[in-house]
Amino acid sequence: MKNFKRYLVTSALPYANGPIHIGHLAGVYIPSDIYTRYLRMKGEDVISVCGSDEHGVPITLKARLEGVSPQVIVDRYHALNEKAFREFGIAFDIYSRTSNKVHHETATEIFKTLYDKGEFIEKTTEQYYDEEAGSFLADRYITGTCPHCGNENAYGDQCEKCGTSLSPTDLINPHSTISGSKPVLRKTLHWYLPLDRYEPWLRKWILEDHTEWKANVYGQCKSWLDQGLQPRAVSRDLDWGIPVPVEGAEGKVLYVWFDAPIGYISATKELTPEWEKYWKDSETKLVHFIGKDNIVFHCIIFPAMLNAEGSFILPDNVPANEFLNLENDKISTSRNWAVWLHEYLEEFPGKQDVLRYSLCANAPETKDNDFTWKDFQARNNNELVAILGNFVNRTLVLTNNYYEGRVPERGVTDQNDTAVLDEIGKIKENVENSIETYRFREALREAMNLARLGNKYLADAEPWKVIRNDPDRVKTIMNIALQITANLTIVCEPFLPFSMEKLRGWISFSEKSWNKAGDKDLLKPGHLINKPELLFDKIEDDAITRQIGKLLATKKSNETASSKTPQGKEPVTFDEFSKIDIRTATILEAEKVPKTTKLLKLKIDTGLDVRTIVSGIAEFYNPENIVGKQISIVANLEPRKIKGIESRGMILMAEDKDGKLVMVAPSDTVSNGSIVK
């Protein structure tokens, strides 16, 4: 493996149209944070950059929906996410934003360089144009009928009902979501990056030179390359973004996927005047942390852009993760199906490390994984509390009890003592190897093995029994337990920074250098420790029940919202309407129709007569509760036999979105037989 002089760690720029959720954290930010903290502890020259991605159509759509400017949307989510990351301990050196001037300048410059070098091709295509609004329409701004499933609200890029990807011209009866008008096709000029030109080079660079990349990343790149690369547009007709810096490109901006990854460069520029050594020196190791939906952009498009530009380094690795699901369902911002970071921080104050731990232990590194609140609780109670917390607490309490908080001398060690002390160094190496190969779950498990080792050592050595007969032996045992504790503050630091800071305080220990881990004498005899508190608290069932209840409420409200208001009907003439004889009436008797679940047999006073009507409302009304109730009926509906009973007329009901039926009744008492018109 090549030895690098410095590291540049980037984390996918979160889109500034919604808050951060656990899927983002498990996929990108926790792994990048562990990696960065580890490198810093090793004393490496490392910077970690991130920021808000503030351009693109979804932001303009949300702004339009709320009736505000896109700037209001990005300001809101930039502030929210920046704060949430900071409170969660994600250790970026800079959290920038792509609406910054420095980013506009950097992206413009890179586009110009490629343009001047003739790296783009220009193509005129036909695109939908809204004549009323006077603008071209992004795919998401066009809706129409899906040609595959008939969904009338399919988008120009995708039908969300059947999941088919579409292009706007596939839609039947398209209309603009801006004005509602029918869009027309118009010619428009765009710039394309001819990815096909880079295909041979990409094949070698990825498929031959980077066989060490994660299987999911390598596999996806291979499949893209095997399908053959096509020229890809780098501009869009839109009024929000970075203007295309070419004459005659009025009303066009850089495609958000051209400008967003350049955001890493701009953020580095903003952070340090020495930015070029991180981006242009082959002694720098560049690592992109992303989710799997971004693989093509970071492994194919962005490298092709940088290669075309010519002066930048390329990523050494792109350790993309798969997706995290929530309680067996895909996380979704639009369906509010997520655990939002800013809400977690409020609802579980001081428990950043519990979420960091459970998301890392369950990270979707090789396949999609599922987050459940029960698992979160079990990770806390059975691992953090029972293993790590328990070991630390025992060690510190016994040290305070036996030696008034002074680290005792280590006397003669037996074979087991030596084996345990040697094991510390091995665990450190295992954690190191796992982190450097981007296997963070494994790294965390190894770090926890140090606490497991300590627990087992104490359980086997039983100092609380030995103290009665052999106090000298106990000094050796406790010295070893304390060395393990001090080592824990180092090897667990990248994963659990909040708890390790507490623990360092309790043992009056400030060493954070990674290379000190494995040392068997971190705490010298006579060193004074403080009184400990509990490192982790048990999470009780009611906290978990509350969270699950919150999700169930979301599910219910989604179900209601997704059943849309039925479409309006064809117009009728007044004469046609007048033919229907709607009258007020009163229910005299009501009983269930035997052997049915839905039907009630009602005896009705219509003012004209007393008659029987069978109605399918038994699921919603108890017979005994509706006797005497005034209602509206269709009096002249042709009689029909239902379950052998002749039903003469129909009771008017309103059907709610969830299928619930409610009687339509006069708002005040009127005489039976009054005409409703």
By CB under 5 A, name the binding residues for Zn ion.
Answer: 146, 148-149, 151, 159, 161-162
Q: What is the C-alpha to C-alpha distance for residues 63 and 60, in angstroms, rounded to an integer?
A: 5
Residue closer to Zn ion, measured from CB, 161 or 335: 161
Query: Which is nearer to Zn ion, 19 or 147 (by Cβ)?
Result: 147
Amino acid letter, 218? Y
Q: Which two tokens stand for residue 664?
A: 């339509």
CA 18 to chain centre: 10
| Min dist. Cβ of residue 155 to Zn ion (A) | 10
User: How crowded is the C-beta side of 107, counted as CA atoms within 13 Å?
Assistant: 29
CA dist 583 and 632 (Å) reads 6
Measured from the CB atom, the residue of 152 and 414 that comes closer to Zn ion is: 152
Least separation in angstroms between CB 172 and Zn ion: 11
Of 30 and 146, nearer to Zn ion (C-beta) is: 146
Minimum distance, C-beta of residue 661 to Zn ion, in the bound complex (Å): 30
Buried b (16+ CB within 10 A) or exposed e, 438-451: bbbbbbbbbbbbbb
Which residues partner with 96 through β-bridges?
51
Rounded to an integer, what distance in angstroms lies between the CA atom of residue 257 and that of residue 400? 58
CB of 161 to Zn ion, least distance (A): 5
Task: Decide whether 165 or 334 has the Cβ nearer to Zn ion.
Answer: 165
**How crowded is residue 510: how many other Cβ atoms within 10 Å of its Cβ?**
8
Identity of the residue, 144 or 183, whose beta carbon is nearer to Zn ion in the bound complex:
144
What is the rounded CA–CA span in Å between residue 627 and residue 555?
Answer: 36
Give yes or no for a contact between 39 and 46, defined as CB atoms under 8 angstroms apart: yes
| Residues 673 and 581 sit within 8 Å (Cβ to Cβ) | no
- Least distance (Å) between residue 328 CB and Zn ion: 24
Q: What is the dihedral of CA 109, 112, 113, 114, to 10 degrees?
A: 130
CB of 1 to Zn ion, least distance (A): 48
- CA torsion angle 57 61 63 67 (round to 10): 150
Spatial contact of 318 and 15, defined as CB atoms under 8 Å apart:
no
> To which residue do tokens 């340090």 refer?
272
Q: Closest separation between CB of residue 148 and Zn ion, Å?
A: 4
Among 615, 613, 622, 619, smallest CA distance to 597 is for: 619
Q: How far is the CB of 62 from Zn ion (least distance, A)?
A: 23
User: Which one, 145 or 413, has the nearer CB to Zn ion?
Assistant: 145
Nearer to Zn ion, 156 or 649 (CB): 156
We find the least distance from the C-beta atom of residue 260 to Zn ion, in angstroms, to be: 29
Q: How far separated are the first and last CA of the chain, in Å rounded?
A: 85
Whole-number minimum distance, CB 149 to Zn ion, in Å? 3
CB of 162 to Zn ion, least distance (A): 3
**DSSP reduced 3-state for 223:** helix
> Distance between CA 650 and CA 85 in Å, rounded?
60
Query: In the bound complex, what is the minimum distance in angstroms from residue 170's beta carbon to Zn ion?
Result: 10
Q: Nearer Cβ to Zn ion, position 145 or 272? A: 145
If the CB atoms of residues 162 and 572 are measured against Zn ion, the closer one turns out to be 162
What does the alpha-carbon distance between residue 182 and residue 258 come to, in Å, rounded to a whole number? Answer: 30
CB atoms within 10 A of CB 104: 18
Pick 69 or 153: Cβ nearer Zn ion: 153
**186 vs 335, which CB is nearer to Zn ion?**
335
Rounded Cα distance, 183 and 165, in Å: 20
CA nearest neighbour of 14 among 54, 49, 41, 48: 54
Rounded distance, CA 190 to CA 125, Å?
8
